[in-house]
């Protein structure tokens, strides 16, 4: 039987060899075969729901001027997990606590990369910082230095004297205005104070203009706006040259040169001055990093560009989020006078007739801490957490998420989710009474500072600055809006978008000195 089958095959092969070769006929048979083979091998990925997109621009037109609000509206229609195309960039939007938890816990490593934006490359020395560097060994080492050497509880406490001195300067400025009468621009004052605190802690001294404003004040807000400015190169790589024509690339390079020159000067000053007295409780971040740079125990080379990128990270992250949180907190207190009264009563009861508020006093101000929590819930400084990027294919909530997908976690939408928060649009600090939920990255219903490996390492530094400043603001002064018949509820809380979202109109208030 086997011999007969072999003989039949041989005869068939001999007959085929007699047929003259016809390339056209071969293509007729081969092309359909290859098409069917390709279709059978390529399975269309099961992507999350997506709004209809337009050619070329994808879903870009649906983002609006306040993307966190636009994406919340889309997620209400298409679900808490959406797949968009921002230009040619595949983008995943996460808008629920459950999915944020799965992302930052179960799949945290795959979701721990960062997209390399044009702004981050230019401003952060090729993304050699902590916040925007790619996930890997360098990031682990740089973050370790930041957490252990710069932002530890011990380090934060060692800079308490700086916060006290700068807040005292702020209080004295407001007191002078009280004597003259009139309103103060609290937005501007908060920016100056937070920038001066960061300047002294990071660079060793503050940089003020002749009018008393922080030199970094305007720079930091420009940087935050430029970070989220639309870049053709980010979403249409072939059209990156258009960023030169729009002025984005020249603006980024100009501000980068300005900051680089300043950082070089600061580093040179630190290197030339005698810092061997080892007053470790008075060391600023630059001095700490320079000492680490001299050591041979580091697992990577800490070049001056690495050092400057980390400094830039700390400065931008530490100033803008602090001033923005203070601005929103005071705006909500003005809009809610009963909450303002209750907060002031607690602060003044705890402090008594002392001339200075100390750290122990702050720890007793439970209601003030609830006010801060509610401010961070309603107005997270960065409503769309700094974007992540997938490093590999991942099965997420039953969907196929490709590698190199940008991921936005809409903390603003999560913290206003009516299935989690009762009356989510209202400012109600007492929702945190006897409620253990916190903003340290473990409760995914409440993630103003992110979570997982990419959570904000400077949380303690920023929160302590806000608590100390607002306690003094409420202790020493009573506040109202300018004008005789203007009520708190008339205050406009319109937003303007940046890497942080701030009040569209600066906060001008009239202070009245309170006598303890």
Q: Annotated binding site for heme: which residue ranges?
A: 456
What the block records as the tokens of 115 is 């997209």
Q: For the chain, how far is it from start to end, CA to CA, in angstroms? A: 111
3-state secondary structure (DSSP) of residue 512: strand
Distance in angstroms (rounded) separating the CA atoms of residues 269 and 444:
44
Cα distances (Å, whole numbers) of residue 169 to 176, 212, 352: 11, 11, 21
Cβ proximity of 207 and 216 under 8 Å: yes
What the block records as the tokens of 363 is 């720890």
- Which residues partner with 91 through β-bridges? 84, 406
| Residue 289, phi then psi, degrees to nearest 5 | -65, -40
Return the closest-CA partner of residue 325 out of 209, 513, 458: 458
Return the closest-CA partner of residue 287 out of 262, 308, 269, 270: 270
Distance in angstroms (rounded) separating the CA atoms of residues 236 and 54:
14
User: From the CB of residue 172, how many other CB atoms can be counted at a distance below 10 Å?
Assistant: 11
DSSP assignment string, 267-321: HHHHHHS--TT--GGG--HHHHHHHHHH-S--SS---HHHHHHHHHHHHHHHHHH
User: From the CB of residue 281, how many other CB atoms can be counted at a distance below 10 Å?
Assistant: 11
User: From the CB of residue 317, how many other CB atoms can be counted at a distance below 10 Å?
Assistant: 26
User: From the CB of residue 217, how many other CB atoms can be counted at a distance below 10 Å?
Assistant: 24
What the block records as the tokens of 251 is 């603006």
Q: DSSP H helical segments within 82-150, as ranges?
A: 97-101, 118-123, 137-145
| Residue 495, phi then psi, degrees to nearest 5 | -105, 160
3-state secondary structure (DSSP) of residue 419: coil
Cα distances (Å, whole numbers) of residue 478 to 51, 334, 337, 349, 361: 49, 10, 11, 15, 20
- Beta strands 406-409 and 89-94 are parallel
Query: Nearest-5° angle of CA 232, CA 129, CA 272?
Result: 125
List Cβ neighbours of 370 (8 Å cut-off, separation of 6 or more).
429, 430, 432, 433
User: From the CB of residue 508, how many other CB atoms can be counted at a distance below 10 Å?
Assistant: 14
Return the closest-CA partner of residue 59 out of 46, 74, 45: 74
Q: DSSP H helical segments within 129-231, as ranges?
A: 137-145, 153-158, 160-180, 186-203, 215-228
What the block records as the tokens of 290 is 């320079």
């Amino acid at each position: 039987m086997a011999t007969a089958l072999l003989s039949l095959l041989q005869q068939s092969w001999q007959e085929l060899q007699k047929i003259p070769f016809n390339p056209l006929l071969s293509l007729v048979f081969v092309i359909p075969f290859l098409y069917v083979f390709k279709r059978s091998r390529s399975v269309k990925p099961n992507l999350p729901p997506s709004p209809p997109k337009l050619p070329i621009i994808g879903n870009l037109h649906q983002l609006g001027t306040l993307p966190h609000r636009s994406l919340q509206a889309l997620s209400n229609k298409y679900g808490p997990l959406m797949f968009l195309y921002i230009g040619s960039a595949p983008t995943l939007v996460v808008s629920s606590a459950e999915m944020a938890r799965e992302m930052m816990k179960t799949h945290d490593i795959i979701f721990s990369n960062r997209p390399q934006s044009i702004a981050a490359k230019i401003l952060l020395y090729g993304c050699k910082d902590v916040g925007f560097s790619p996930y890997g060994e360098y990031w682990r080492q740089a973050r370790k230095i930041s957490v252990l050497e710069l932002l530890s509880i011990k380090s934060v406490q060692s800079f308490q004297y700086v916060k006290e001195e700068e807040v005292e300067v702020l209080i004295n400025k407001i007191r002078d205005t009280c004597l003259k009468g009139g309103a103060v621009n609290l937005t501007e004052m908060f920016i100056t104070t937070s920038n001066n605190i960061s300047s002294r802690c990071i660079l060793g001294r503050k940089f003020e203009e002749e009018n008393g404003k922080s030199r970094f004040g305007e720079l930091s807000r420009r940087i935050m706006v430029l970070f989220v400015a639309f870049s053709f190169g980010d979403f249409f790589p072939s059209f990156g040259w258009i960023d030169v024509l729009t002025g984005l690339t020249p603006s980024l390079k100009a501000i980068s040169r300005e900051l680089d020159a300043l950082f070089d000067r600061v580093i040179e000053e630190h290197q030339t001055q005698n810092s061997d007295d080892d007053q470790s409780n008075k060391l600023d971040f630059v001095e700490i990093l320079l000492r680490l740079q001299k050591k041979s125990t580091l697992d990577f080379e800490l070049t001056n560009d690495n050092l400057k990128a980390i400094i830039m990270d700390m400065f931008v992250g530490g100033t803008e989020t602090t001033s923005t949180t203070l601005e929103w907190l005071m705006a909500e207190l003005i809009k809610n006078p009963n909450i303002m009264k209750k907060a002031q009563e607690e602060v003044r009861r705890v402090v008594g007739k002392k001339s200075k508020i100390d750290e122990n006093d702050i720890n007793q101000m439970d209601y003030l801490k609830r006010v801060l929590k509610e401010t961070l819930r309603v107005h997270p400084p960065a409503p769309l957490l700094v974007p992540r990027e997938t490093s590999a294919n991942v099965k997420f909530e039953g969907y196929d998420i490709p590698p190199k997908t940008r991921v936005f976690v809409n903390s603003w939408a999560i913290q206003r989710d009516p299935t989690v928060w009762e009356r989510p649009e209202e400012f109600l600090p007492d929702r945190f009474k006897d409620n253990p939920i916190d903003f340290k990255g473990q409760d995914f219903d409440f993630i103003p500072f992110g979570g997982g490996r990419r959570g904000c390492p400077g949380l303690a530094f920023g929160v302590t600055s806000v608590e100390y400043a607002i306690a003094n603001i409420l202790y020493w002064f009573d506040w109202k809006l300018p004008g005789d018949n203007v009520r708190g509820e008339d205050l406009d809380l319109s937003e303007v978008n940046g890497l942080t979202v701030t009040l569209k109109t600066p906060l001008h208030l009239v202070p009245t000195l309170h006598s303890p």
